[in-house]
Amino acid sequence: MSPTKLNLKDKYKLLTRDLDWEFSYEDRQEAFPYEEFEGIKITDWDKWEDPFRLTMDAYWKYQAEKEKKLYAIYDAFSQNNGHTNVTDARYVNAIKLFLTGVSPGEHAAHLGFAFTGRQMGGIGARVAAQMQSIDELRHIQTQIHAMSHYNKFFDGFDEFNHMHDRVWYLSVPKSFFEDARTAGPFEFMVAIGFSFEYVLTNLLFVPFMSGAAYNGDMATVTFGFSAQSDEARHMTLGLEIIKFLLEQHEDNVPIVQKWLDKWLWRGYRLLTLVAMMMDYMLPQKFMSWQEAWELYFEDAGGALFKDLERYGIKMPDYTETIKQEKEHLSHQAWWTFYQYTHAAAFHTWTPSSDEMDWLSEKYPNTFDKYYRPRWELAAEMEAKGERFYTTGLPQLCQTCQIPMMFTEVDDPSQVAYRESVYNDERFHFCSDPCKSIFDNEPEKYVHAWLPVHQILQGNCGGGGLDKVIEYYHLDNGAANLEFEGSPDAERWKQWKGVA
């Protein structure tokens, strides 16, 4: 007898909801041991509305076709020496930052969604999370392939995986995702599925992909287009989870609010890297960080929170703080990397006078007053042959692990210091929100692996800075330090026939 072909509706049902079963002899609570400890109340998983209608077989078929096309473009890019078509060799540092700082986050997200795709009790949510888990794994793979061509011609790419667990600034994204992954399944979904992938995605993904498009980086921009349909699915999943949790039980509202307060701040702090990339690292700039924040968070995010008001959810209190920081963030971040670039896997440089004029125009209230003098001093020191690399190691925030470089919102000349004492030990924070995240769950942060403290305990190669750089697998004199005079810069001049 020939097999009967299923109609679409039946096939969808059989390959999604029907994959679940009733527990007849096992205790359901034991099968889903993580479902209750966070305090979230689920009364009826059947109320879950699938955010997209996709079965696993269709997923495989569709992704395989997409990736065949993607890899054909990578091949063409490589065969045509596509790396010589970017605007300037300085641009490549933006994608070094992407590969070392963002791509490992895709892998962490893959692991996190695999966890929620196992641990949430509802089959609809599990199937959706499993698909996202596979998406994230594909994304890190396709990103590595997109950038592998650059690795043949530029320094700083090859040890990204080794560096992720060790290098000081990479502990920022690493600890962000580990914080989310060591939470329960629902906090993870709110942290990464909603806050990050829905609310903040346009401030991470879009800036890197637009930066690539404006700077002639066909490989990365093609990856961006290819991932777009996945990102659209991730956004609908993020929105569904938040609505589902809020509609299931009113007791969920304060828990979800607390998570939103925490994760929008954690995500925003992580975006510090994007802010400096947009304003300082792109030779051809497309938008300032401040403009992006206003467009994607204040306008779009504002409308979203308006929508969530009917559930009793409100915009986090500190968004006023962020509003005030938006004119300072990128300048303070690039200044930090500029002076610690001897321990970084990418190059930094002083902005050119044209770039400084662009920054003055985009940041009329702050750049000339607070930040131009810093670059003038840096240029003076450089002219004397004393390019500024700071000595010593920075004080880090216990929560976000970023050097404590952020200033008071009402006094941009004064670095902000916050501290808490827990069990007689002092802990330091860059801001009120980072302090309050710690104060809510100190046991989660007291054993943070702070890179500076680990170096000073002798756990990172022992000895001085040269040993630390070795421990990082940082190719000293090639992958780090000032851009001008670097092997990257010299090779670029050769390719372009510039003396």
How would DSSP label each residue in 138-158?
HHHHHHHHHHHHHHTTSSS-T
Q: Is 449 an interacting residue with respect to another protein (CB under 8 A)?
A: yes
For 3-40, b/e burial (b = at least 16 CB within 10 A) is: eeeeeeeeebeebbeeeeeeeeeeeeeeebebbeebeb
Q: Are 219 and 147 in contact (CB under 8 A)?
A: yes
User: Contact between 443 and another protein (CB under 8 A)?
Assistant: yes
| Contact in structure between 119 and 35 (CB atoms under 8 Å) | yes
Q: How near is the Cβ of 390 to another protein at its closest, in Å?
A: 6
Phi, psi (rounded to 5 degrees) for 415: -65, 140
- CB proximity list for 360: less than 8 A, separation 6 or greater: 367, 368, 372
- CB of residue 373 to another protein, shortest distance in Å: 4
Contact call for residue 413 and another protein (CB under 8 A): yes
Q: Which two tokens stand for residue 189?
A: 């979904």
Can you tell me which of 251, 317, 441, 470 binds another protein, judged by CB under 8 A?
Answer: 441
Residue 6 or residue 377: which is nearer to another protein going by CB? 377
Q: Are 412 and 366 in contact (CB under 8 A)?
A: yes
Of 67-75, 222-230, 344-352, 407-415, the window that binds another protein (rule: CB under 8 A) is 407-415
Of residues 22-61, those binding another protein (CB under 8 A): 33-34, 37-39
Verify binding: residue 216, another protein, rule CB under 8 A.
no
Q: Find the binder of another protein among 8, 76, 232, 456 (CB under 8 A).
A: 456
Q: In the complex, what is the shortest distance from the CB of residue 80 to another protein, in angstroms, rounded to a whole number?
A: 41
| Minimum distance from residue 37 beta carbon to another protein (Å) | 5
Strands 411-415 and 418-422 turn out to be unpaired
Among the residue ranges 118-126, 205-213, 412-420, 477-485, the one whose residues contact another protein (CB under 8 A):
412-420
Distance (Å, rounded) from C-alpha 120 to C-alpha 42?
Answer: 10
User: Any contact of residue 317 with another protein (CB under 8 A)?
Assistant: no
- Rounded to whole angstroms, the Cα distance separating 131 from 159 reads 29
Do residues 215 and 86 touch, judged by C-beta distance below 8 A? yes
Which region, judged by CB under 8 A, interacts with another protein, from 142-150, 158-166, 318-326, 438-446? 438-446
Asked if 305 and 239 count as a contact pair (C-beta separation under 8 A), the reply is: no
Residue from 270, 450, 479, 481 in contact with another protein (CB under 8 A):
450
Applying CB under 8 A, does 253 fall inside the site for another protein?
no
Question: What residues from 381 to 400 belong to the interface with another protein (CB under 8 A)?
Answer: 381, 386, 388, 390-396
Q: According to the binding rule CB under 8 A, does residue 178 interact with another protein?
A: no
Kindly give the residue spans of alpha helices, DSSP state H, lying in 160-251: 160-164, 171-181, 185-188, 205-214, 218-248
146 vs 281 by CB, closer to another protein: 281
> Applying CB under 8 A, which residues contact another protein?
33-34, 37-39, 183-184, 187, 332, 335-336, 339-340, 369-370, 373-374, 376-377, 381, 386, 388, 390-396, 403-405, 413-415, 417, 419, 423, 425-428, 441-450, 452-453, 456-458
